[in-house]
């Protein structure tokens, strides 16, 4: 499976205070056919969550580590079984041989991210711009895979995909309190709603 394939329009971002709940959240998302999942390294015992999720899910789910800030973060995430890395901003350091979704916002940062080997650009924080900004960026950067992240609800997500985003990264509007020990049944319902809506968007 390829991080930049369009059949993964939703990148679920799991961030929580309870490691067991975070693992259950990842497994629940995968069970509901959400197959691109990022576990933020700010999650309690995040590396163990990634390791256990990878053992449980095998290779059919794209499982990555987010909030990667240092080379040590990247190396430890790779050792835990992360299949890709997501950074909140530009990272200029030797990284493991994994796809990197690098955070950027301005055109200069986007150029820098690509020069540093980013497989895709995390447009962050997208709440400061909106789909119109992405549409404008697609003019000078038609070949850059963009993944907007930050404050995206379902209506925003569909608008970003229509504007040319490869995928959208979504945290709390999708995850809710599940990764803190909250309601997994409610998570299932949200996951089904998001999956159906965004799959429909990219197949139009």
Which residues lie closer than 8 Å to 77 by C-beta, 6 or more apart? 41, 47, 50, 64, 65, 68, 85, 96
**Catalytic member of 38, 48, 109, 201:** 38
The pair of structure tokens assigned to 11 is: 């990148």
Backbone phi, psi, residue 173, to 5°: -60, -25
Catalytic residue among 32, 109, 122, 201: 122
Residue 146 phi/psi, 5-degree rounding, is -105, 140
> Is 32 a catalytic site residue?
no
By residue count, the chain amounts to 204
Q: Read out DSSP for 60-129?
A: SSEEEEES--SHHHHHHHHHHT-S-EE-SS---S---SS-EEEEE-SHHHHHHHHHTT-SEEEETTGGGT
Q: Which two tokens stand for residue 34?
A: 């959400």
48 flagged as catalytic: no
H/E stretch holding 11: strand 10-14
Catalytic residues: 38, 122
């Amino acid at each position: 499976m390829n991080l930049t394939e369009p059949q993964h329009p939703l990148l679920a971002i799991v961030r929580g205070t309870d490691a067991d709940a975070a693992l259950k959240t990842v497994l629940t998302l995968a069970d509901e056919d959400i197959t691109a999942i990022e576990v933020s390294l700010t999650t309690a015992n995040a590396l163990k969550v990634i390791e256990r999720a990878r053992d449980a899910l095998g290779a059919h789910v794209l499982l990555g580590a987010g909030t990667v800030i240092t080379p040590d973060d990247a190396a430890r995430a790779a050792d835990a079984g992360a299949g890709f890395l997501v950074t909140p901003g530009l990272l200029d350091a030797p990284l493991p041989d994994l796809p990197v979704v690098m955070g950027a916002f301005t055109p200069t940062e986007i150029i820098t991210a690509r020069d540093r080997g980013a497989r895709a650009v995390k447009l962050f924080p997208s709440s400061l711009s909106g789909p119109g900004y992405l549409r404008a960026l697609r003019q000078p950067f038609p070949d850059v895979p963009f993944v907007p992240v930050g404050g995206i609800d379902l209506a925003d997500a569909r608008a970003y995909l229509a504007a040319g985003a490869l995928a959208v990264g979504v945290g709390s509007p999708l995850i809710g309190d599940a990764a803190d020990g909250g309601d997994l049944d409610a998570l299932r319902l949200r996951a089904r709603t998001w999956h159906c809506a965004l799959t429909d968007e990219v197949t139009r």
